Structure 1
């Protein structure tokens, strides 16, 4: 089967899975909605905000307050794109039709990544503009220093979350096992390692901790992180590539 036909086949699979629409739609709604809520709360409590917090205030980053929950939907999307075929047994049919497993995986990841990128960018720009509207007089503009980079980076961050999840799902195959590892990792383990002084230097190199810096415009006082916004996103991209590489290595060796 030619590469174009494989891509079309994977696009058909993604469209036919009902969870695709609602997971990606949920990512948009949660990210934008929570970002607007937090921005509105910041605006209402601005007069009571301590001076040190006003100095470090990052209007752009506040808009992305919902990303921490919105990425949950992107994780689910990435896992289900891969593991749904394993849970239904369709993986045997797919690999029989496309015996070149590298082509099969590349097509699946390419289609899902393109879709995640479109949704991620729409979500990021929508969250920014909605959040700035809610901030009122404390807002910033897209033309401000570093703002466009942060907004575009927000979309790339959401995309890489999905790609990393796909890599983990290829390795583990089962949706429950994949989600059972990814959810605690991103919502508990990473936060603990990144906020405890004894493990902070390790935690800053985890995918979400490193990648999340791309959405920041203002550097907090005393921040000694040894990499910048693009460096952090690069670290996150390396995690995603490593997850896919490990997944591909296992896909080649084991039976469907």
Structure 2
């Protein structure tokens, strides 16, 4: 496992575009949060911590692309054959990738969220900064990266992987909002990976799902995608 981790870390650091993608994620998240905070005159009752973390809505897309490319690039270039020849235990390869993705994204997301909090502190009232939404946002981004890794391992295509994850993050909430029955709409928000996971940012009392319970729903999505990816990786010919 140690050698697999070292190999995956080396690939993540040297793969074209991946480090730049993380830098772009950090900058874009902070820039969006700063712009929204500066342009908003919050009304009474506005969820200020969630408003200050608006950049997460954009950052999650770049995180999804990062998680997909960690495995998708190997299928696109044929490097996956070399990887699985060097490390025959395929589940070990996926586990090493998951550890690297989680570690790298945790570091990048921490920097990005800290930048968003600084922007919110400068432009919004003091209570715009709260610990639970901030920590939860970091965990949310890490779980989105792991979900993306699991999905691309299942579909074996970067384009299909990115499309699938972005559909879950952006299209599913739109479809949910179009449902006429309020009860069904609430249930769909409770099980959707984005709508449930982002509940960790909310500080209001009227929530469809508890903050940490919602993040747990996203964790189940990520775990399910990784387990499905591991099973398919073991069974299929690369």
TM-score, normalised with respect to structure 2 = 0.93
C-alpha offsets along residues 144-201 of structure 1, whole Å, 9 cap, x if unaligned?
Answer: xxx2111111111111111100010100111011112222332222233146443412
More deviation, 157-166/196-205: 196-205
How many aligned positions are there? 235
SS in 1 for 2:17: helix
Give distance in 2, aligned partners of 1:245 and 1:93.
Answer: 22
Give distance in 2, aligned partners of 1:194 and 1:166.
Answer: 27
SS in 1 for 2:204: coil
Query: Do residues 157 (structure 1) and 140 (structure 2) align?
Result: yes
C-alpha offsets along residues 91-128 of structure 1, whole Å, 9 cap, x if unaligned?
Answer: 00100000011111111111111101111122112211
Give distance in 2, aligned partners of 1:31 and 1:194.
Answer: 25
Match of 1:236? 218
Give distance in 2, aligned partners of 1:188 and 1:152.
Answer: 26
More deviation, 228-237/199-208: 199-208
Give distance in 2, aligned partners of 1:116 and 1:90.
Answer: 23
Give distance in 2, aligned partners of 1:161 and 1:195.
Answer: 24
Query: Do residues 179 (structure 1) and 162 (structure 2) align?
Result: yes
Q: Which runs of 5+ in 2 are unaligned?
A: none
Distance 1:140 1:224, change over 3 A: closer
Q: How does 1:116-127 map to 2 (within 5 A)?
A: 116-127=105-116
Query: Do residues 6 (structure 1) and 7 (structure 2) align?
Result: no
- Structure showing greater radius of gyration is 1
TM-score, normalised with respect to structure 1 = 0.87
Give distance in 1, aligned partners of 2:164 and 2:133.
Answer: 28
Q: Which of 32, 49, 65 does residue 54 from structure 2 map onto?
A: 65
More deviation, 21-30/245-254: 21-30
Match of 1:209? 195
Q: How does 1:42-81 map to 2 (within 5 A)?
A: 42-43=40-41, 46=42, 49=43, 54=44, 56-81=45-70
Contact 1:193 1:203 in 2 (8 A): yes
Match of 2:76? 87
Match of 1:22? 20
